[in-house]
Amino acid sequence: MRVVYMGTPEFAVPSLEALIGRTEHDVAGIVTGPDRPRGRGLKTGSSPVKEAALRHGIPLWQPEKLRDPCFLNALRALKADLFVVVAFRILPAALLEIPPGGAVNLHPSLLPRHRGAAPIQWAVMSGDEVTGVTTFLIEKRVDAGDILCQETVPIGPEETAGELHDRLSRIGADLLLRTVDLVGAGGIRPRPQKGEASPAPRISREDGRIDWRLPARDIHNRVRGLNPFPMAFTTWRGKFLRILTSRTVSLEGTGGLEPGRIVYADERRGIVVQTGEGGLRLDRVQPEGRGRIEGVEFVRGYLPAAGDQFGACDPRPG
């Protein structure tokens, strides 16, 4: 099977490496995003998929516009049987019409649940106990094509989106390789997606702002789902405080403070905040302009006290 691979971020690399490692398939070309400013210094850098392409010496394209006639003609000249897409852009119809086998996409959810740009984060933030990976045929509607293969994956009760991302990238690579094998052998029958679709839109920094009126479990899931980016946050004495990890705790007999108030803060028990239902222990935090510290270190260094309020000020995230 002769394929063209399209992808950009780290999530797409294991699938690319799996295809390259299978002698039955020929990765004739790779398409990735243009070099962009990356990292804290905003230096122009290559995407992880580009770096993999260069390591293997595979022809590479980085088009600004996917409808560019020169780019489309270059893809036609490769005479690929199939396009394989992992974490890339929306493909225009002119591009989808090129390969006789169409285009296969790997999506990190159990479609039609969590269609969109951030399925892993939304699965964790929604408190899902299971998610998965799906391969499907790309069509005009985003993430709505017929399913080829699916695999269910449990989500750990304390697992972060970053940890789940890494697991799904490896599991997805195996599923994608199996899918391409089946497509090449003519042994797969696409099936329509069934059930109600749910959206998984792109995450913004403002999505990380904690609403202490929510139940502790919901806030905890948001903390997990926004780790490692953009991180859940609140405000403390007029500055931002990122919440990296947390735990829910029972607050029976504490008197029921206003949501966002500190129930207790000491070096033995750490710092626990009243929510709309139950308490949330802040296990690891990052004060504005500082490094990441344990909750007990925050207690020692910043001297929070019972009754103090989180989220009292409302600056905008930077």
From the number of C-beta atoms within 10 Å of its C-beta (0-12, 13-18, 19+), residue 195 rates as: exposed
Indicate the average pLDDT of the chain.
94
DSSP-derived 3-state class of residue 158: coil
Domains observed in the chain:
2-185 (3.40.50.12230), 205-302 (3.10.25.10)
Q: Determine the pLDDT at residue 191.
A: 97
Structure tokens at 281: 């222990």
pLDDT in tens, 11-59: 999 999 999 999 999 999 999 999 988 666 667 889 999 999 999 999 9
Structure tokens at 212: 């202490």
The ranges of the chain with pLDDT < 70 are 38-42, 253-255, 312-318
Q: Determine the pLDDT at residue 269.
A: 87
pLDDT in tens, 73-106: 999 999 999 999 999 999 999 999 999 999 999 9
Compute the distance between CA of residue 264 and CA of residue 261 in angstroms, rounded to an integer. Answer: 9
